[in-house]
Amino acid sequence: MKFFFPDSQDQIDPSFDFLTEERDPCRVRQRDDRYAHEVLAPAPFDGLLVSKTIVDGTASATTGKYTSAQRQRLYSEGAAAFFRLHNGAEPLVIMGDCGAFSYHAQPKPPYTVNEVIDFYEGCEFDYGISVDHLIFEYEPLIPRDDSRAAEWVRRQQLTLDLAAEFRATCQARDVEFTPVGVAQGWSPASYARAVAELQMIGYSRIALGGMVPLKTPDILNCLRAVDEVRDRRTQLHLLGISRYDDVRSFAGHGVTSFDSTSPFQQSFKDERNNYHTATRKYMAVRVPQVGGNTKLKKRIEAGEIDQGQAVKRERAALDLLRRYDRDEVDVDPVLEALSDYSQLWNGKDDRTEQYRSTLTARPWRECPCSICRAVGIEVVLFRGSERNKRRGFHNLYVFEQQLRKQLGRDDT
């Protein structure tokens, strides 16, 4: 079972100073910052998934997350060199897709088949996923000819037609990457139909899309239906699914790979489950920068809060957190300082007990990952991208360890 991590240009700056909040003035991001696979050993994933919408954008959103210089460098160097895929303990593979979620509201994908193949070939990917169009709804009992399903049927057929064109064009152009067909559906039967047609087109690797909102029993129902038509040699990829508790069940139905950003994004997007361990998840301790918190900035600008007083409370909280990590103070003064600062920007939302749980457990001390060993308590502070991304990298490390455990072997 292979885990692919979707790229969104998430890197950390090794020169970042947590005490001064400063960086090396000579830092060049693409050259000096580090990807997760460069700072964690072994790498917390088997490969990267790179979307065309992230790199090139679309007609309605002309730019992606890459600058013009980054795009040029990716195309000129190739993905292996750009992402430094061989700088970690193990070489990684790379898969490309179109980024269908970014254009789901449009009537059709914004790219031609040849444009997508140019992207995959230009970046020298190992795998390339055919052009697809998302179907968000899931209605397992609805008849295929029901009027409500007209748009679903149209999108599925469009995806299948594009998959046929994609494979034929890949053969004609003699591409070096492995083509992967996409199955979109809205029910177990519709997914099975799509897989059957993709196999007839000639695909032996098929990605199942649109399943992110589905619960695990629904995914398994779809996989069971696909089993009825799937050639035993056909390998399945689950797009956007990261549920390590279920990987054994998924593997039993031909799933050999999946991708997700969930472990990483929970570090800064989840309200509670920010720092992961093998046994539970903890809330990160919010200590926003005075100049970086919108609510606090507005109150300062309105004259409701003195900026100097806010900075004083911020520094007091940070100082006590670090002293706590050095065993110089107990947890209660830390919690009091956090509460004092929180009142300025967080109103009545009291997180004291959640913070107490995180701080008293000190999970960062038990973690062997290089992130936690290097930065200590800073990894559980919800404060700016350098800490939040490091916590996200840590979560990827924990996810990879749990995946290995579920599979019952050392090599996933």
Alpha-carbon distance 115 to 106, whole Å?
18
- CA atoms of 132 and 181, how far apart (whole Å): 9
Maximum C-alpha span of the chain: 70
Half-sphere exposure of 343 (CA within 13 A, CB side): 9
| pLDDT at res. 60 | 59
| Domain residue limits, the chain | 2-260, 269-378
Beta-strand relationship, 178-183 and 205-208: parallel
Give the whole-angstrom CA distance, residue 43 versus residue 152.
Answer: 38
Q: Of 1, 95, 83, 9, which Cα lies nearest the Cα of 47?
A: 95
Contacts 24+ apart (CB under 8 A), 227-235: 227/253, 227/254, 228/192, 229/192, 229/193, 229/195, 229/196, 229/199, 230/195, 230/199, 230/254, 231/199, 231/204, 233/204, 234/195, 234/199, 234/203, 234/204, 234/205, 234/206, 235/204, 235/205, 235/206
Asked whether the whole model's pTM tops 0.85, one would answer yes
> Cα–Cα distance between 110 and 103 in angstroms, integer?
7
pLDDT at residue 63, rounded to an integer: 58
Q: Which residues are catalytic?
A: 97, 259
What pLDDT tens digit does each residue of the chain (412 aa) get?
A: 999 999 999 999 999 999 999 999 999 988 999 999 999 988 999 999 999 999 998 765 555 789 999 999 999 999 999 999 886 567 899 999 999 999 999 999 999 999 999 999 999 999 999 999 999 899 988 766 677 788 999 999 999 999 999 999 999 999 999 999 999 999 999 999 999 999 999 999 999 999 999 999 999 999 999 999 999 999 999 999 988 889 999 999 999 999 999 999 999 999 999 999 999 999 999 999 998 888 899 999 999 999 999 999 999 999 999 999 999 999 999 999 999 999 998 877 899 999 999 999 999 999 999 999 999 999 999 999 999 999 999 999 999 999 988 887 554 4
CATH class for the region spanning 2-260: alpha beta
- Would you give the distance in Å from CA 378 to the centre of its chain? 22
